[in-house]
Amino acid sequence: MNRYPLWKSLLFAAVMLVALLLGLPNLFGEAPALQLSRKDGEPFTAQTSVTDITTLLTQNDVKVDTAYLADGRVTVRFADVATQLKARDAIEKSKPEGYVIATTFASKAPSWARKVGLKPMSLGLDLRGGIYLVYEVDVDGAVRQKLALLERDFRLKLRDSRIQYQSVDAQPGGVLVSLKEGVKAGDALAALQSVDRSLALTTSTDEAGRVLIRTVLTPEQIKERQDFAIQQNITALGNRVNALGVSEATVQRQGLSRIAVQLPGVQDATQVIRLLGKTATLEFRLVDTLNNPAEALATGRAPLGTKLYKDRSGRPLLLKREVIVTGDQLTDASTGFQNGEVEVALRLDARGGEEMLRATQENVGKPMAVVFIERERQLKEQNGEKVAVDVTSEQVINVATIRGVFSNQFQISGVTLREGQELAKLLRAGALAAPVYIVEQRLIGPSLGQENIDKGVRALLIGSAALFVFMAVYYSAFGLVADVVLICNVILLVAVLTLFQAALTLPGIAGIVLTVGMAVDANILIYERIREELRLGNSPQAAIKAGFDKAFSAIADANVTTLIAGVVLFLFGTGPIKGFAVTLSLGILTTLFTALIGTRALISLIWGSQRRIDRLPV
């Protein structure tokens, strides 16, 4: 008798039953779908929203396979891509203000599986299709923005401290302050130092004898600002992706100054690229009513302390250089209607509210302008070559007289419906801390992704079939047991990937194929040990026990060393390498479980209860 502990056999059976249940949704595949979320960012909470959408589509002769509410979003599945696109157009036409619509794919698993929380494993771009973008962050631009903010803060501090100055100018690497004659350097230094205690300030005098105060950013401060810009851009891009309604998106740092964005299942690249890459913000400035803007336009020179702008009709305007509030101080933005006109409702943070309150108190009855600033990098031809050029568009979208005092909540108008929606979305998502531009762009169609899946599955089936035949021929009945255990290993690996929603990529499928090939090594080691024990004259039952006991150390050593390699690949690899490392590492763990517990349980079930065995079919 060679009895195996009953609890271990029951444990193996229970684990495999759970694995079958977890992996079941992967058998049904996916179909084209639309994922709808509310434009105000709030989740859908009632099933009536699903009914409203399906009713709308039915009225437009669009056949819906199924529609359901999950994670605050409505998913509507269709039979083919043509129906999916027809449904998107119908919703956009009927409810242009209602929803953010993302074209994606949804599982065809039955509703009961979804209700109990079962869902298929997450697929990477190369298998599901979608958009892959790599952005280069203009880290030097982030430093320039830091200096521009310092320039503004220095101006405000000197004004609040009633210290007269000639000029405050941001220069490469620092800010230069020129004081008026007779102003003491000590008072100005104390005021400027209070803006940022970490700044190093130095003083000198110019030819006219005026005091100059200069601050230069240290290499550590520059590096800190660059890292902040990248992290802020990652957050802002992630928020913008969420605003698009895209699920399972990945936004992560790549190298020193790049950000990789993966949007699985997204098919419409135009809107995504346009929205993600823009740097849009607002500036609120007072209008200069003393000087003539037409004269400034004709001469090309704006009076001291002003800057020349144009409104949407091309009319010139002179605005004060001093900025009251910028888009960086916005905490919320939403679009609405007032008297039939589109308005964007804005909310400022505490500091912005204080600045706006002070500006409106001091300037009641005076005009204030809203400047919309948009930056993006475009490819232009220069000397026969395509070069990347930063394009900045500054336009006055609204000029209004300050009728009363307000602080952190107000509305602006002068934008179209589409512009208002996009502006609110960009501002709500957060401004990019530095301009970004695309250095790599890949659009993977769903047909190519399905082709990758088909080829990967075909490779797995062919490799497994050849392995099954070899094991059955070479190890007889014991080889068939190994084949069953290998199937269990694949099922368990798929279940674990599904449970943790680890994105499966094409290299990940290669990792599964490699896992199958490596998993049989454990069975071979065990079976060869059993053969060796039989050649030494031990009884079949003793040979089985000794084979498992003596093979354990070799199996453990071989798999642990491979696991270490997999962990290293995961920690230091990127993209496809990580996908391979994940499946390889998880495959090693499932291999150890199925080979050491599953194989032993099955062999004990078949041959362990027999009192007398003349020979083992190994």
Q: Is 6-25+445-608 a domain of CATH 1.20.1640.10?
A: yes
CA distance 310 to 399: 11
Q: Of 65-69, 140-144, 239-243, 533-537, which gets the smallest average pLDDT?
A: 239-243
pLDDT confidence of residue 60? 86
Tell me the per-residue pLDDT of 357-378, one tens digit each, with 9 for 90 and over. 888 888 888 888 888 887 665 6
Would the pLDDT of 294 be above 60? yes
The share of the chain scoring above pLDDT 70, in percent, equals 87
What's the whole-number mean pLDDT along residues 524-533? 86
Would the pLDDT of 586 be above 80? yes
Q: Quick check: pTM over 0.85?
A: no
Compute, in degrees rounded to 10, the torsion defined by CA atoms 5, 10, 16, 22. -140
Tell me the per-residue pLDDT of 542-577, one tens digit each, with 9 for 90 and over. 888 888 888 888 888 888 888 898 888 888 876 678
Would the pLDDT of 143 be above 70? yes
CA distance 587 to 559: 10
Would the pLDDT of 63 be above 80? yes
Q: Of 166-175, 306-315, 428-437, 572-581, which gets the smallest average pLDDT?
A: 428-437
Tell me the per-residue pLDDT of 206-262, one tens digit each, with 9 for 90 and over. 777 778 888 888 888 888 888 888 887 887 787 777 766 665 678 888 887 888 888
* Single-letter amino acid, residue 386: K
Would the pLDDT of 97 be above 60? no
CA distances from 31 to 6, 60, 211, 389 (A): 43, 21, 71, 41
Q: How confident is the model at residue 318 (pLDDT cuts 50, 70, 90)?
A: very high
CA distance 578 to 562: 15
Would the pLDDT of 201 be above 90? no
Q: What is the mean pLDDT of the chain?
A: 80
Adjacent-strand bridge partners of 263: 131
Q: Exposed/middle/buried for 508, CB within 10 Å: 0-12, 13-18, 19+?
A: buried
Level-2 CATH architecture, domain 280-414: 2-Layer Sandwich (3.30)
What's the whole-number mean pLDDT along residues 44-54? 79
Asked if the domains 130-277+432-444 and 280-414 are classified in one and the same CATH topology, the answer is: no
Would the pLDDT of 16 be above 60? yes
Q: How confident is the model at residue 503 (pLDDT cuts 50, 70, 90)?
A: confident
pLDDT confidence of residue 455? 80
pLDDT confidence of residue 533? 83
Would the pLDDT of 69 be above 60? yes
pLDDT confidence of residue 582? 85
The share of the chain scoring above pLDDT 90, in percent, equals 2
288 DSSP 8-state letter: -
CA distance 566 to 577: 10
Instruction: Provide the pairing of β-strand 279-287 with 367-382.
Output: antiparallel
Cβ neighbours, 10 Å, residue 93: 10
Q: What are phi and psi of 517, to 5 degrees?
A: -65, -35
Instruction: Read off the tokens for 398.
Output: 């609204």
More reliable by pLDDT, 96 or 226: 226
CA distance 530 to 599: 13
pLDDT confidence of residue 440? 80
Q: Domain ranges for the chain, please list them.
A: 6-25+445-608, 30-108, 130-277+432-444, 280-414
> Is the Cβ–Cβ distance between 560 and 608 less than 8 Å?
no
Residue whose C-alpha is closest to residue 360's, from 310, 405, 395: 405
What's the whole-number mean pLDDT along residues 481-507? 85
pLDDT confidence of residue 6? 82
pLDDT confidence of residue 319? 93
What's the whole-number mean pLDDT along residues 24-53? 78
More reliable by pLDDT, 502 or 318: 318
Q: Of 51-60, 314-323, 412-421, which gets the smallest average pLDDT?
A: 412-421
Residue whose C-alpha is closest to residue 370's, from 329, 400, 344: 400
Level-2 CATH architecture, domain 130-277+432-444: 2-Layer Sandwich (3.30)
Adjacent-strand bridge partners of 262: 132, 250
Please report where in the chains the tokens 């108190």 appear, as a residue. Answer: 361
Specify the fold of 30-108: Alpha-Beta Plaits (3.30.70)
